[in-house]
Structure 1
Amino acid sequence: MSTPPPRCNACQVNRVAWTKPRVDFCYDCLPGGPFPAPACRKCGSTDYFSQGQCGVCHPGAPMHPGSCRGCLAWGVYRAHNWHCWSCRWWQGHYPLGQCLYCGRTTRVGDSGACRLCLEQGRRLKEPDRAVDLGEANRFGQQLYLANLHAVRRGRRADWIASRRRRAQPPPVRFAPVRWRQLMLFRMPPNQAALKHRAATTDTEMFRFCDGVLRDHAAQHGWSRKQINDTARSLKLVQALQTTPGAKINASDVLELPSLGGTAASTMEILDAAGLLTDDRTTAIHRYFAAHVTALPPVMRAQVSTWFEVMLAGSKNKPRRMPRHPQTVHLHILGMAPIWQAWADRGIQSLAEISREDVATELPPPGANRCFAEQGLRGLFDILKARKQVFTNPARGLAATHSTRTIPMPLDTEMIREALNSDDPASALAVALVAFHALTGPQVQALALTDIQDGRLTIGNRSIPLAGPVRTRLAAYLDHRARTWPATINPHLFINRRTGPRTNRVGRGFPWTKLGVAPQALREDRILQEIHATGGDVRRICDLFGLTVAGAMRYATGLEPPEPTSRPASSSPTDDET
């Protein structure tokens, strides 16, 4: 496609009269003019454009017809980016890929075929028989004129669509097989063969999942593109199965992004259909396995017992509540070097550990020593309760307190810049923390129903929202309604990933792109309040929900007031005597 000629230097409306030889003015603005423009040298039209041609014959004119970049149909224009109406719709609903039938790199539909191959198959379709795309495109395609395929609109189209919905067959029922084919070894799949198999195979399992997909998408307000991507991914993951008809492993779904599919939405649909087997390994399990691989078998089994009780808890006496994975992670961080040091000394079981062994291997005072002491106490408590060790060598050790940090104020200009962010979600999140000192998890878990009549409810606290917070809240709610009008997510903050779902945003939203941590903003707000109140700890506790010990951390950094002394020249009054 030729590039349009430049505009006239004088009027900046018409195109230049000639580019070869170069003329920088149109015929109306030529020096000594205006001059009448000649007729088109190709068709004789008087609608002159440039280079002796009219607006239809010149290859750079906006009304010069060309071929569609998607389906190669003739009769599209530069103003529409050389796409027909149907291919413009395909651009927003289907991804780029290689057509399985003609080999072109273009927008590919659910069947793995481009729009040109689909139209060729429909043209050669026999009555009462399915479309055979491979046979229809075996000897090439018949091109056509653009924008001639009728699109049904209006009341009659709605009536026809309602009749088709009523005439649909009943929902497909599917029961997965209970057996599995074991694999000798696993080879990376041939992507071309896999996509062809997914496009040409129609299974009962997919028809069942497709019905679940349509219902789930209508309930959660999914876009058409997300529905098509998920349907294509369901076909791909079923083509990956070694046991057709069995439940699908989550580890197989995680391979979809490398094949051009989507993992999160596919896993959500399979879970809703009851066909997902979650065989994923969590981060804490991978971290634990990396630190116990080199330990002796007996010690590894003992540490594994502690790990299982910490994560799942125990209903047997002594009962124990499950701990947060982050707590377990910190305990492993403190104890892993100690385990390895004992194993290097030839110790095979934790029953051989004495109090001197524990005291010798403890790290220097600091955070790691605190984590190690807490972890060792819990480790030997659990093993002794299960009679795997005789005594608790960590009992009675002096507790090492972690080093306390001193809160420091932030740069006011940085906070002001974050408050005036162009992103409504970022501006609201910063305002909630900067004015009301919310924590990061509290902002992450806020629900729409937590804000009523200008008041924010968090637990037993009812917080009147400040004026700047209300302004940013209104702007964000308008943005939320425009961007995700059909979402049913109950949380206040949503993004592109959580909009079509019901889960909360991640911990890094929207702080990662702001470059400021919510904890630093919260500390700055509490410092400002404690300076304004002169160190009133009770007020800080009531206002921000802190404990007395937590509030004292901020009060210790407050400068003591200067002592007032009586001037030397003053003399006591009669009342003072």
Structure 2
Amino acid sequence: MIMRDWRNRKPPTSCPYCHSWGPSPQTLCGGCHNWRSNHEMGQCTGCGRTVPIFKGDRYRGYCRLCRHQARLEAGDYHTPLMPYLQALSGHHQLFLANMDRALSVMRPHGNRRGQPRSKPAAVRLTLPEDEQLELFEPPARDFTRFRTKEHAEYTAPWVLYTTQIAARLSEARGWSAEVTQRTRRGLVILMSSYPGFGRLRRSEVMPLHARQLPVERVCDVLEEIGLLIDDRAAALDLWLDRALSGLASGIRSDVLIWINELRHGTPRRRPRQERTIHAAVPYVRPLLEHWSQSYDHLREVTKDDLHESIKPLTGTPRRHTILALRSLFGCLKRRKVIFRNPAARLRPGGTLDRARVPLDQAELDLAIKRAGTPTHRIILVLAAIHALRRKAICLLTLEDVDLANRRMTVNDHTRPLDHVTARAIQEYLDYRRQRWPNTANPHLLITQQTAHETQPVSLFWVGKHFRGLPATLERLRVDRHLDEALANGADPLHLAIVFGMSDTTAVRYATAARRIMEESASRLGGELEA
């Protein structure tokens, strides 16, 4: 039996609803047939005919023919159609049935007459240099009641300007069409009621999350033109409020003086990283809580109190607690908050050499088994074969990897690529190209969030793939150093050349390798004697 196309069963006719010309198995074309089943009959606002009209809030009161004409006037499928629907003059361009979307794909850079589409005139707006200062903080604007049909101003200068900036950022950073369209929608909501002066707070933009709009991309556009004020509280401040909540007010103020010096530095001291504060505060917090029960200020703490507090501590906790106390009381003495420094003669002792032992084969097999995606595998080979730290993995860029010459550059140190690493990188690049084909992020590893930015991935994201396993990224890196040292006679010079490490670090790993070899030799000798 020969199956014939349904288009050949009936001569082409004109659809009574949209007037499109073409073959159809029914009285209506396919588009109007579905339109009639989903919408109600009524009088169209544009053409005045009694046909099925749009019943939603977006294009309420207009028929399918008017919507098609407005889309032709707009030129693409991403521009809001309401301004074009309101400007219809009653004349419509006839079209072929089921061909409107196909023709738009065939002519992506031209209008319906095949001519180059005219670009809208570039709009350049700047904020006034002299701004009126605010006497009080105005309440945040409520965008939950925003209605596109009633409140959208598509021809407003600031709406046109911000959408142009969004288009430029979209092309530069490789945003997808969906992200670009939703960003434009968020900008229309924000800038339709913008008075033309003042800056927007990030807290005012955050309610766009409820509309499923990309707040981060909208903030990127506003930050590009200097229209955004980031009024979010710093994460470190929120963490400090929780960490110092149980202290006496005087002791808390003394500790904040020390923390502010660590964060911002002084003319003679460089500012420290936030992770230094995160590491130092937990060591002194139990002591500060104990002193808060008896004292109101740290100037009342004596040298005997310090010795009594650190007496139960041993090993690494004792060393780090003494270092944090010396830093705390030294800062207060320099600021003349205390009269004498009770921690001046505390000595933390030498650096403890941690025992470095290689991983068992079962632990390595479990880590390899867990790496089931291209992202997991590339992180595994970078840590287990090239002994890269998490920060080095995050900062690795596409320019650092040369697959053609089998070379990779890490911290200005070029190393050869083995077959396993090259295959893992090639597999990940294929996965990255397939999932984010238009991304402009120069880093090798990207996520769904950083694919639309130029920032590297976070340290937490890199480490979470092997969290909970005995073979963490840090242990994989240490195991690789020990394996190289054991294979080449514990030569520190060889380790420094291969991994680009410092001389002191190379000596420590060589010493650990010699100790492992001596223990293995003594254990083997004991077995032979037995």
Please indicate, yes or no, whether the TM-score normalized by the shorter chain is above 0.5: yes
Deviation at 1:560, TM superposition (A): 3.9
In the alignment, the residues of structure 1 paired with residue 198 and residue 355 of structure 2 have an alpha-carbon distance, to the nearest angstrom, of: 55
Deviation at 1:207, TM superposition (A): 2.4
Cα root mean square deviation, aligned: 4.3
Q: How does 1:493-508 map to 2 (within 5 A)?
A: 493-508=445-460
1:523 aligns with 2:478: yes
Change (3 A) 1:252 1:65: farther
In the alignment, the residues of structure 2 paired with residue 550 and residue 240 of structure 1 have an alpha-carbon distance, to the nearest angstrom, of: 64
TM-score by length of 2: 0.72
TM-score by length of 1: 0.67
Which residue of the other structure, out of 273, 277, 284, is the alignment partner of 1:335? 284
In the alignment, the residues of structure 2 paired with residue 531 and residue 505 of structure 1 have an alpha-carbon distance, to the nearest angstrom, of: 33
Kindly provide the amino acid, as one letter, of the partner of residue 386 in structure 2. H
Deviation at 1:530, TM superposition (A): 3.5
Percentage identity across paired residues of the two chains? 22
Deviation at 1:225, TM superposition (A): 0.9
Q: How does 1:85-104 map to 2 (within 5 A)?
A: 102-103=55-56
**Whose relative contact order is higher, 1 or 2, with alpha carbons under 8 Å and at least 6 apart?**
2
Aligned residue in 2 for 1:147: 98
Aligned residue in 2 for 1:354: 302
Give the number of the structure whose residues are more often helix, by fraction: 2
Aligned residue in 1 for 2:216: 264
Aligned residue in 2 for 1:39: none
Aligned residue in 1 for 2:136: 182
Aligned residue in 2 for 1:385: 334
Residue 457 of structure 1 aligns to a residue whose secondary structure is strand
* Greater shift in the superposed pair: 302-311 or 543-552: 543-552
Residue 385 of structure 2 aligns to a residue whose secondary structure is helix
Kindly provide the amino acid, as one letter, of the partner of residue 321 in structure 2. A
Deviation at 1:485, TM superposition (A): 3.8
Deviation at 1:374, TM superposition (A): 2.0
* Greater shift in the superposed pair: 410-419 or 502-511: 410-419
Deviation at 1:454, TM superposition (A): 1.4
In the alignment, the residues of structure 2 paired with residue 354 and residue 533 of structure 1 have an alpha-carbon distance, to the nearest angstrom, of: 53
Aligned residue in 1 for 2:507: 548
Q: How does 1:241-390 map to 2 (within 5 A)?
A: 245-315=197-267, 319-345=268-294, 347-362=295-310, 364-365=313-314, 367-390=316-339
1:164 aligns with 2:118: yes
Residue 415 of structure 2 aligns to a residue whose secondary structure is strand
Aligned residues: 458
Deviation at 1:441, TM superposition (A): 1.2
Residue 121 of structure 2 aligns to a residue whose secondary structure is coil
Aligned residue in 1 for 2:172: 219
Deviation at 1:191, TM superposition (A): 2.2
In the alignment, the residues of structure 2 paired with residue 501 and residue 525 of structure 1 have an alpha-carbon distance, to the nearest angstrom, of: 33
Conserved? CA contact 2:390–2:463, under 8 Å? no
In the alignment, the residues of structure 2 paired with residue 117 and residue 299 of structure 1 have an alpha-carbon distance, to the nearest angstrom, of: 71
Residue 456 of structure 1 aligns to a residue whose secondary structure is strand
Conserved? CA contact 1:424–1:475, under 8 Å? yes
In the alignment, the residues of structure 2 paired with residue 174 and residue 194 of structure 1 have an alpha-carbon distance, to the nearest angstrom, of: 27
Change (3 A) 1:293 1:418: closer
In the alignment, the residues of structure 1 paired with residue 192 and residue 82 of structure 2 have an alpha-carbon distance, to the nearest angstrom, of: 21
1:409 aligns with 2:372: no
Conserved? CA contact 2:441–2:454, under 8 Å? yes
**Structure 2 gap ranges (5+):** 2-8, 10-23, 39-53, 74-80, 88-94
Which residue of the other structure, out of 219, 229, 243, is the alignment partner of 2:182? 229
Kindly provide the amino acid, as one letter, of the partner of residue 427 in structure 1. R
Kindly provide the amino acid, as one letter, of the partner of residue 98 in structure 2. N
Which residue of the other structure, out of 368, 372, 392, is the alignment partner of 1:442? 392
1:74 aligns with 2:25: no
Change (3 A) 1:390 1:203: farther
Residue 257 of structure 1 aligns to a residue whose secondary structure is helix
Structure whose alpha-carbon radius of gyration is higher? 1
1:561 aligns with 2:515: no
Aligned residue in 2 for 1:458: 410
Deviation at 1:124, TM superposition (A): 9.4
Conserved? CA contact 1:66–1:75, under 8 Å? no
